[in-house]
Amino acid sequence: MTVLIFTGGQSPETDMAAPFFKNFNADYIIAADSGLDAYESFLKAGLITKSPDFLVGDFDSVSDRRLIDKYDCEKKIYSHDKDYTDSELALMKAKDIAGKEGTVVLCGGNGGRPDHFMALYDSFSREYHADVWLCGEQVIWYCGCNSALKISNINFDDRISVSRISSEYENTELDCNGFEWNSLFKKGMPSLSNRISEKFFNEGKPIELKSVKGSFLIYTPFTAEVSFCSKGKD
């Protein structure tokens, strides 16, 4: 089961996101607050064709509240004074729908207020995190402990970064093969604006990453292709 969430905040432009959606199909779609506006944009661009299955949030930021009544689906409308953000409520619902073996893709939440962005970054340390986060200009992939992935279809000047989740700033280990700089910093941000090695690029080899200890976030351009060889358990 693959669940796609559209949430408020900056979403990627549809032209930029198009490579990701080329081979992507969502089984279930959630729109949170002004994520409903983003859903409309992606629908108009033809990147998705499915109607939303669930609307959630206080909808204080949506461009036109009449959009809420446009779709005949399950809805959960909250007051502005609530315990969780609209994105958190959507992530909780998505994880429940997707189950342990499913995939949750979050679209939006980038830009604007940095505290909102940091709250979403921090959500990767919780049980209801996304597996993939589509931000304004990058795709962020969750690489849990014992997960292994390959990154292909990379241009030589593409930049790929690695961060730790907020609850694991140290005592983590990520095996890297194919970066220009495979030795990562032991604390804080492991790698910023790394790139594929010239040897791997010329030989057409993918970058290979494996989390030996701890969990990481991998930042790639939308044109990169990421495949998981194995997924560890959270």
Given phi > 0 = left and psi -120 to 50 = alpha, else beta, which region is 193?
A: left
Alpha-carbon gap, residue 114 to 108, rounded angstroms: 13
Q: Which of 123-132, 148-157, 166-175 has the lowest mean pLDDT?
A: 166-175
- CB of 194 closer than 8 Å to CB of 172: no
pLDDT band at 30 (very low <50, low <70, confident <90, very high): very high
Q: Does domain 2-137 have CATH number 3.40.50.10240?
A: yes
pLDDT digits (tens, 9 = 90+) for 112-134: 678 878 888 999 999 999 999 99
Report the helix count and the strand count for the chain, using DSSP H and E.
5, 14
Higher pLDDT, 180 or 171: 180
pLDDT over 60 (residue 234): no
Closest-CA residue to 213 (of 179, 165, 167, 171): 171
- CB of 234 closer than 8 Å to CB of 211: no
Q: Which of 15-19, 22-26, 82-86 has the lowest mean pLDDT?
A: 82-86
Domain ranges of the chain: 2-137, 143-230
Q: Which of 21-25, 52-56, 60-64, 204-208 has the lowest mean pLDDT?
A: 60-64
Stretch 198-218: mean pLDDT, rounded? 96
Place of tokens 């408020």: 8
Q: How many residues does the chain have?
A: 234
Alpha-carbon gap, residue 181 to 183, rounded angstroms: 6
Name the pairing type of β-strands 207-213 and 148-152.
antiparallel
pLDDT over 60 (residue 46): yes
Half-sphere exposure of 3 (CA within 13 A, CB side): 26
Stretch 141-165: mean pLDDT, rounded? 96
Stretch 34-54: mean pLDDT, rounded? 95
Percent of the chain with pLDDT over 70: 99
3 state SS of 105 = strand
| Residue 87: φ, ψ to 5° | -65, -40
Stretch 47-52: mean pLDDT, rounded? 96
Query: Cβ-count burial of 18 within 10 angstroms (0-12 exposed, 13-18 middle, 19+ buried)?
Result: middle
Alpha-carbon gap, residue 228 to 112, rounded angstroms: 31
3 state SS of 95 = helix
3 state SS of 68 = helix
pLDDT at 109: 87
pLDDT band at 233 (very low <50, low <70, confident <90, very high): low
